């Protein structure tokens, strides 16, 4: 059954994920989208994938146009501006049906909300906040061959270090170095580091997050956090990017539903 088109003054938020052969990836993305819907019930939120999973981005855009939707905010479910943000997604959005106005939102990172979620995941994995000043943290991302994306991860690590950690080092699961295992071993040699924690800076489970986890275990990391996943803080960041793209003066938006600060 087709959903009724939203009011003409309100856009549809289209969350665009990369997709994966690993079914945990799509399940995590859909759980995150459910969080977004729960925070703003009046906003229609759809999900589409670039590869491996359905529905596809072109198919979803065609469906929305057929329903009479005229405005779409396309939100890349990406943490950095690398190849998919600069090439793949713009290319597929340029093929949107005539009459459908698509506004592309910025990628999610960097953001204090993401750092807050990383720390939440570390605490869930057993890190005592009182041990912050004696903990070395590996900020482990998927990796990219794009210098801009690598520089962003390095800058996030530098800024995160200033919040009280003994040390923070970036690491990458592919395309760049160091690998997670090498960063864990390097932190062992840093004066004052009594334990090493690995914080995966990735949104959903899959092949590369599994590589981060294997590297962390192989190198003997003391704490291994889960991926960012469908945390309400990440869902709030999606809505923030939506609102930045479709300004309140052109699109009235309902307030966020009341939820705990983190979950």
Mind listing the pLDDT tens digit for each residue in 146-200? 999 999 999 999 999 999 999 999 999 999 999 999 999 999 999 999 999 999 9
Residues 145 and 235 in one domain: no
Pairs from 214-218 (Cβ < 8 Å, separation ≥ 24):
215/140, 215/171, 215/173, 215/179, 215/180, 215/181, 215/184, 216/138, 216/140, 216/180, 216/181, 216/184, 218/181
pLDDT of residue 84: 78
* Strands 71-76 vs 12-17: parallel, antiparallel or unpaired: parallel
Question: The CATH number of the domain where 81 resides is what?
Answer: 3.40.50.1400
Question: Residue 210 sits in which domain range?
Answer: 126-224
Query: Considering the domain boundaries, does residue 137 fall inside one?
Result: yes
pLDDT confidence band for 3 (50 / 70 / 90): low
pTM for the model: 0.90
Examine the pLDDT at 250 and tell me if it is beyond 50.
no
Q: Which residues pair with 102 in a beta bridge?
A: 72
Burial 98-120, CB ≥16 within 10 A → b, else e: eebebebbebbbbbebbbbbbbb
pLDDT of residue 4: 52
The Cα–Cα gap between 56 and 262 comes to 31
Cα dihedral 232/237/242/247 (nearest 10): 120
Examine the pLDDT at 257 and tell me if it is beyond 90.
no
Residues 17 and 105 in one domain: yes
Residues 154 and 169 in one domain: yes
Query: Considering the domain boundaries, does residue 240 fall inside one?
Result: yes
Angle of the 112-124 helix axis to the 147-161 helix axis, nearest 10: 60
Residues 135 and 87 in one domain: no
Examine the pLDDT at 9 and tell me if it is beyond 80.
no
Query: Considering the domain boundaries, does residue 253 fall inside one?
Result: no
User: For the ranges 79-93, 117-131, 182-196, which has the lowest average pLDDT?
Assistant: 79-93
pLDDT of residue 249: 45
The Cα–Cα gap between 12 and 97 comes to 15
Query: Considering the domain boundaries, does residue 140 fall inside one?
Result: yes
Examine the pLDDT at 263 and tell me if it is beyond 70.
no
The Cα–Cα gap between 260 and 223 comes to 25
Query: Considering the domain boundaries, does residue 260 fall inside one?
Result: no
Residues 139 and 210 in one domain: yes
pLDDT of residue 167: 98
pLDDT of residue 83: 80
Residues 213 and 174 in one domain: yes
Q: How far apart are the first and last CA of the chain?
A: 33
Secondary structure (DSSP) of 160-173: HHTTT-SEEEEEES
Residues 139 and 97 in one domain: no
The Cα–Cα gap between 257 and 242 comes to 16
pLDDT confidence band for 87 (50 / 70 / 90): confident
Residues 32 and 84 in one domain: yes
Residues 219 and 236 in one domain: no
Residues 147 and 203 in one domain: yes
Number of domains within the chain: 2
Residues 156 and 207 in one domain: yes
């Amino acid at each position: 059954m087709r959903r009724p088109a939203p009011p003409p003054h309100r856009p549809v938020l289209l969350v665009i994920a990369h997709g994966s052969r690993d079914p945990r990836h799509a399940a995590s993305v859909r759980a995150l989208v459910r969080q977004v819907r729960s925070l703003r019930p009046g906003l229609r939120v759809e999900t589409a994938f670039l590869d491996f999973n359905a529905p596809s981005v072109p198919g979803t855009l065609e469906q929305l146009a057929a329903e009479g939707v005229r405005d779409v905010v396309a939100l890349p479910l990406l943490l950095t501006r690398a190849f998919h943000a600069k090439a793949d997604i713009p290319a597929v959005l340029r093929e949107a049906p005539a009459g459908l106005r698509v506004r592309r939102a910025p990628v999610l990172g960097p953001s204090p909300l993401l750092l807050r979620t990383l720390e939440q995941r570390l605490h869930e994995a057993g890190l005592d906040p009182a041990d912050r000043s004696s903990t070395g943290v590996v900020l482990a991302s998927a990796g990219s061959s794009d210098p801009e994306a690598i520089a962003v991860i390095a800058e996030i690590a530098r800024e995160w270090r200033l919040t009280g950690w003994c040390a923070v080092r970036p690491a990458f699961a592919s395309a760049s170095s160091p690998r997670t295992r090498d960063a864990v071993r390097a932190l062992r040699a840093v004066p004052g580091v009594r334990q090493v924690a690995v914080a995966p800076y990735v949104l959903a489970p899959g092949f590369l997050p599994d590589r981060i986890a294997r590297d962390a275990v192989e190198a003997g990391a003391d704490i291994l956090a889960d991926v960012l996943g469908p945390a309400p803080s990440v869902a709030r960041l999606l809505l923030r990017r939506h609102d930045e793209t479709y300004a309140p003066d052109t699109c009235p938006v309902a307030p966020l539903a009341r939820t705990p600060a983190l979950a």
